């Protein structure tokens, strides 16, 4: 059973249609990337999932049942992009308070908060105030308050904002651990390289609609352009061929695109016939960043692609 299903979700604000018949299914234990440019409808969708907004049309199902914000709030951890912490409150007290708001007893909250503070190297921060923290330190605290109650669904909106590389890796490792332990994670960001590294499945939204839906590998395969990298052991090889067009060349490395009517084996045959040693040969798939730009720049053209890759 899917952990979360969004069925025909639409939402209007005055004259603006923020969401237009959005359908998304998220499986348990997955790390799900929610992508899109500014104004695509991502934040509105996240607020509907958490019960902050209600859809004008459609429904949200959590574990197969209609989502009830009052009863199901303890099953969700939401880390918004905007900071949501009390600046004058001590960090330890704040983490305990927010954990108990999610239904934990004082003892459970203390055990879990201390565990997370140790994990993330925050033990010495207990009596500091939020206003005394750097942006990165505040981000770590917000992450702890999001996951401290062991939610089934964790929503992370730009979770690496303000973090240095060391702490970003620390949070990333914990995201993987949470997914392994059974939590389902919705990860929203503009950083495509983080999506490629972290997410199992993605949805790309634009102008209130989901225009692409699939696993990261499915999406990259769907938009591949028959580009290959070739590493040769002979810089004097004859590069002219009807089988391919050279995109770029650097020393003994080539980036080529197969011409229509030819296959990848024809590249190999061209060089083998010259007795050229091939040190490397691999297909070069487009990055999610390239796919993102292509689709968002030309949304009408994007919609000709199936939303569910084969």
Instruction: State whether residue 162 is helix, strand or coil.
Output: coil
Residues with Cβ within 8 Å of 196's Cβ and at least 6 positions away in sequence, in order, are 216, 287, 288
Instruction: Determine the pLDDT at residue 173.
Output: 95
Instruction: Determine the pLDDT at residue 298.
Output: 63
Instruction: Determine the pLDDT at residue 275.
Output: 84
Instruction: Determine the pLDDT at residue 59.
Output: 95
Instruction: Determine the pLDDT at residue 37.
Output: 86
Q: How far is CA 305 from CA 196, 201, 210, in A?
A: 21, 17, 12
Instruction: Determine the pLDDT at residue 253.
Output: 87
CA distance 178 to 273: 52
Instruction: Determine the pLDDT at residue 229.
Output: 93
Phi first, then psi: give them for residue 158, nearest 5 degrees. Answer: 50, 60
Instruction: State whether residue 228 is helix, strand or coil.
Output: strand
What letter would DSSP give residue 278?
E
Query: Which residues, given as ranges, of the chain have pLDDT below 50?
Result: 300-310
Helix H or strand E segment including 203: strand 201-206
Residue 26 gets the label, from left (phi > 0), alpha (psi -120 to 50) or beta, of: beta
Instruction: Determine the pLDDT at residue 194.
Output: 87
Instruction: Determine the pLDDT at residue 271.
Output: 87
Instruction: Determine the pLDDT at residue 274.
Output: 84
Instruction: Determine the pLDDT at residue 227.
Output: 94
Instruction: Determine the pLDDT at residue 299.
Output: 54
């Amino acid at each position: 059973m899917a952990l979360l299903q969004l069925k025909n979700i639409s939402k209007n604000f005055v004259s603006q249609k923020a969401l237009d018949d959005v359908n998304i299914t998220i499986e348990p234990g997955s790390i799900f990337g929610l992508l899109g440019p500014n104004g695509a409808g991502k934040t509105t969708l996240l607020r509907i999932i958490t019960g902050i907004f209600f859809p004008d049309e459609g429904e949200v199902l959590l574990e197969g049942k209609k989502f009830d914000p009052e009863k199901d709030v303890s099953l969700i951890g939401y880390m918004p992009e905007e900071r949501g912490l009390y600046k004058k409150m001590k960090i330890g007290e704040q983490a305990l308070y927010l954990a108990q708001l999610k239904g934990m007893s004082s003892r459970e909250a203390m055990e879990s908060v201390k565990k997370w503070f140790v994990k993330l190297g925050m033990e010495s921060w207990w009596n500091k105030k939020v206003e005394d923290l750097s942006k990165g330190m505040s981000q770590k605290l917000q992450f702890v308050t999001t996951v401290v109650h062991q939610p089934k669904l964790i929503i992370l909106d730009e979770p690496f904002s303000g973090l240095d590389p060391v702490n970003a890796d620390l949070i990333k490792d914990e995201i993987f651990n949470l997914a392994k332990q059974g939590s389902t994670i919705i990860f929203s960001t503009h950083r495509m390289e983080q999506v490629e590294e972290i997410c199992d499945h993605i949805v790309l939204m634009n102008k209130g609609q989901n225009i692409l839906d699939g696993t990261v590998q499915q999406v990259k395969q769907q938009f591949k352009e028959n580009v290959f990298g070739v590493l040769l052991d002979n810089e004097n090889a004859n590069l002219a061929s009807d089988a391919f067009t050279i995109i770029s060349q650097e020393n003994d490395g080539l980036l080529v695109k197969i011409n229509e009517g030819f296959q990848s084996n024809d590249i190999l045959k061209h060089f083998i016939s010259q007795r050229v040693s091939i040190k490397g040969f691999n297909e070069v798939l487009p990055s999610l960043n390239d796919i993102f730009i292509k689709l968002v720049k030309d949304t009408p053209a994007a919609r000709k692609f199936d939303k569910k890759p084969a």
